[in-house]
Structure 1
């Protein structure tokens, strides 16, 4: 990011005071299975190849079946909700949630868990049908031993709120190691602030760019069609940013406020039919987009710097499978 957009060092402390770690993990039955060495050799022979150089797998279930898609759709909904109400954290499978959102999160994830259990029960009711279809489609590759007696319990979601602080007992056992761990965790939260900034800038830029593109007339001067969601998605972003923001970047705060004021009271229907309003919104948001583009250009350099910081390299994020 530009030099005048350096993160506020106090933001990491605000993050630690107001947020907690939340981890989401899935148990998920794998629907693909590698072919045996004998099966790969047979397949390779068909192509005149050597089995050891062939990688192949079989699909155990029809993932396009409605019952299966209901299960996978719930997983997507859970992950989307988890990410929407949290900020990224460098450790895989962990994100940061506002402490005053924990009760609502617990309620919603408990509901999701019940919905997933019901969807899996429905899928299990179709399991016999799915196995029969697989036997027809796989032919000699079908092996009954690949299939469990039931699918119940093989698709599940778990969540918890792990501690990301240095354990107090370590201070008694090894004070030096305890201080080392405190420094490591402090760096983790510095990294979390940077990850949050980058995530906000990336999403904000994408939403603004899309709206500007839709509002900009084509080469022939013809208006482009845009949906209400192009405006509503930005407004949802403003709300989420306001709720999760730890005020780490004053420039980003000002850009969000500028865009929010630009769209304040703007009716998408009126924008569709008013050239002057289209032009006004486009001009103001284009200025915002220009600054965001500069922020995005600098992000790859910052990621390289992070990866070169030894133990503090950013890990992946997302739900464990």
Structure 2
């Protein structure tokens, strides 16, 4: 086993779900976001239906309020994408909508980063608000009679925001005294959710590794117009970033997955993208070795539903 997979003996002895439960915290990210589309009124739907000879009840129609392709609007949206990417990149899935699990010792860094991204969002919204009159004028021209000034707030400030919190996912302590039986039911429900969180983490890691390995293998193998396929440096860099994230977040619940990650890491260790472009023998060697990893990963993905059923039946 590689150093990537080494763990203290005490940590290896604890159950993955318990380890997840004691070392992670729930984190939720929420957005306030002005909708850029709006459903047509019933009267407008009737007019549209008449145009096509359709029944209004069978027609769904809406209008676009603002040009979301405008650079100022895209800058605001880009910050949102970065927030989501960062949140997902430092956390594991949890079987409750809107909640993920973050390492408790990462909370400080998470708070600093979200505060910084929120400041970037606020700045982007200010710049967007400076172009708001221009965007509304364009909407008035493009929407014609569908334009309604009442659809637009006076300013865009305050209509785009990001917040976060760390909600408790443990059974409420007060239930222990009020109803021990209900407390035990809640405790069992929470335990089951962390069991499921372990499965979700395994699945997410397996699917991401399979996608990255498959993409790199496809780029390294074969040819286009008689020449080796072109690939970006990011194809290799993304795989290395995965190794780091896996090392940081993995709860060591699946030895086979751990070994596959270790194998893939050993294949590309010390290999630079330019070497793969310049050295055909190295290119073929890496592609061949990664193909072996990919075949096992594909088997894990195909077999996963059956293995999950067997795990739950225990």
| Structure 1 and Structure 2 fold alike (TM over 0.5) | yes
Matches within 5 A, 1:42-57: 42-57=47-62
Residue 3 of structure 1 corresponds to: none
Residue 101 of structure 2 corresponds to: 96
Choose which of 281, 291, 295 in structure 2 pairs with 1:290. 295
Does residue 220 of structure 2 align to residue 215 of structure 1?
yes
Residue 170 of structure 2 corresponds to: 165
CA contact (8 A) 1:209 1:289 kept: yes
Does residue 160 of structure 2 align to residue 155 of structure 1?
yes
Does residue 270 of structure 2 align to residue 265 of structure 1?
yes
Q: Which has the higher contact order (CA 8 A, sep 6+)?
A: 1
Change (3 A) 1:219 1:126: closer
Change (3 A) 1:276 1:120: same
Residue 110 of structure 1 corresponds to: 115
**Count of residues paired in the alignment:** 300
Q: Once structures 1 and 2 are overlaid, which stretch shifts more, 211-220 or 110-119?
A: 211-220
Matches within 5 A, 1:17-32: 17-32=22-37
Does residue 207 of structure 2 align to residue 205 of structure 1?
no
Q: Secondary structure at the match of 2:32?
A: strand
Residue 4 of structure 2 corresponds to: none
Choose which of 145, 160, 183 in structure 2 pairs with 1:140. 145
CA distance in 2 between partners of 1:137 and 1:237 (Å): 45
CA contact (8 A) 1:212 1:285 kept: yes
CA contact (8 A) 1:9 1:248 kept: no
Choose which of 62, 65, 68 in structure 2 pairs with 1:60. 65
CA contact (8 A) 1:88 1:195 kept: yes
1:276 to partner: Cα distance: 1.6
- TM-score (ref. length: structure 1): 0.90
Q: Secondary structure at the match of 2:68?
A: coil
Residue 238 of structure 2 corresponds to: 233
Q: Secondary structure at the match of 1:162?
A: coil
Residue 73 of structure 1 corresponds to: 78
Change (3 A) 1:284 1:62: same
Residue 135 of structure 2 corresponds to: 130
1:246 to partner: Cα distance: 0.3
Does residue 108 of structure 2 align to residue 85 of structure 1?
no
Residue 183 of structure 2 corresponds to: 178
CA distance in 2 between partners of 1:63 and 1:121 (Å): 16
CA distance in 2 between partners of 1:135 and 1:300 (Å): 52
CA distance in 2 between partners of 1:101 and 1:51 (Å): 53
- Structure 1 runs not aligned, ≥5 long: 1-7, 310-321
CA distance in 1 between partners of 2:197 and 2:234 (Å): 29
Question: 1:262-314 CA distances to partner (integer Å, 9 max, x unpaired)?
Answer: 111112211212122112111111110010000111234567x59x99xxxxx
CA distance in 2 between partners of 1:133 and 1:99 (Å): 47
CA contact (8 A) 1:22 1:95 kept: yes
1:112 to partner: Cα distance: 0.7
- TM-score (ref. length: structure 2): 0.92
1:219 to partner: Cα distance: 8.0
1:9 to partner: Cα distance: 7.8
Q: Secondary structure at the match of 2:300?
A: helix
1:222 to partner: Cα distance: 3.2
Does residue 23 of structure 2 align to residue 12 of structure 1?
no
Does residue 283 of structure 2 align to residue 278 of structure 1?
yes
Change (3 A) 1:13 1:150: same
